[in-house]
Amino acid sequence: MDEFDIIARYFAPLATMPGAFSLKDDAAAIPAWPGFDLIVTTDQIAEGTDFFKHDPPASIAKKALRVNLSDLAAKGAKPCCYLLAIALPQGVTQEWLADFAAGLADDQARYDVSLLGGDTSATEGPLAVTATAFGHIPQGRMLKRGGAKPGDAVYVTGTIGDSGGGLALLKHEKDALAQAQCDYLIARYRIPEPPVDLGPLLLGLASASVDVSDGLIGDLGHVADASRIKIEIDAAAIPRSAALKAFWGEGPDALIRAASAGDDYQIAFTADPLQDGKIQAAAAQAGVTVTRIGMVGAGKGVVLGYRGSVLAIPKPGYRHF
């Protein structure tokens, strides 16, 4: 089957918006929402970096989409649709494609988004998937990395470091963990769970916000840079799952590992501490946890405090090069 057959069979059924033209045209159309900005983000995931060759196709599909939904959530946007550019290596089977498309269909239902368009091609290299996601926000209200002010509290959603633990397990860096805990951590690496419903609820509450994708410390460093402030994190307050605690243990090394591992796809944000009640109410409404982990002060950079001392951070986050 050629790319037209693949698109018609596996992807066109996912393209339910009128402006997608059933993936039968050269481009798609997004109607203007007067008074709203269209928020746009693109992230690619590649075999060997973001997933492994034999990962379930549905999980690869979900990760490709969710890493983008995570960016939208961190900016306060409600997602509406996405583009998918996929470069397929030789030997991809119909079963693989069907499972990949089923993963997208699952997530479309879960997040109320629709495929808008894309590009399917062949590659001599490993599988690569580039998704571009779109969402809406009232004009000029996008949450930015800049905007944190001294006196603000620092929050993070969900738990941090699980995905890094899962990756370490998949690389067999350390074993000896109960099967259920292994499964949990590996699932967090393969299929992130960005707090998509929380994002829009943070408009008017958060002063700055960032998607935690390259490591909590590194991404908060972007907030510190953009806001020209200093962020002081209480390392012991960083939320970690029971599985991660069982895997990496307690103590400063384990906390630094969690706070510098990538692929969390949570949101870290700052807010006036007077908003704490509203923030917790928003978290409850969105069905996620939000943990207060630190404070914003004057100065620059990110400091990780632990029992009254400051931890040295060897590598704040993931770098591609």
The residue ranges that bind a second copy (CB under 8 A) are: 1-4, 6, 19, 21, 24-44, 46-49, 71-72, 74-75, 77, 83, 85, 87-88, 116-126, 128, 130, 132, 137, 139, 142, 144-145, 210-211, 222, 226, 319-321
Is the Cβ of residue 33 or residue 250 nearer to a second copy in the bound state?
33
Name 95's Cβ contacts closer than 8 Å, sequence gap at least 6.
none
Is the Cβ of residue 110 or residue 319 nearer to a second copy in the bound state?
319
State the nearest-atom distance from the C-beta of 231 to a second copy, in Å.
17
Write out the H or E segment, with its range, that includes residue 247: helix 242-248
What is the distance in angstroms between the CA of the first residue and the CA of the last residue of the chain?
37
State the nearest-atom distance from the C-beta of 286 to a second copy, in Å.
18
Is the Cβ of residue 118 or residue 235 nearer to a second copy in the bound state?
118
**Bridge partners of 122?**
88
Is the Cβ of residue 212 or residue 243 nearer to a second copy in the bound state?
212
Query: Whole-angstrom Cα distance, residue 246 to residue 213?
Result: 23
Query: Whole-angstrom Cα distance, residue 116 to residue 65?
Result: 13
Tokens 């986050």 belong to 317
Q: What is the CB-side half-sphere exposure of residue 9 using CA atoms within 13 A?
A: 13
Query: Whole-angstrom Cα distance, residue 1 to residue 201?
Result: 45
Q: Any idea what DSSP says for residue 77?
A: P
State the nearest-atom distance from the C-beta of 40 to a second copy, in Å.
5
State the nearest-atom distance from the C-beta of 299 to a second copy, in Å.
20
Is the Cβ of residue 19 or residue 252 nearer to a second copy in the bound state?
19
State the nearest-atom distance from the C-beta of 27 to a second copy, in Å.
4
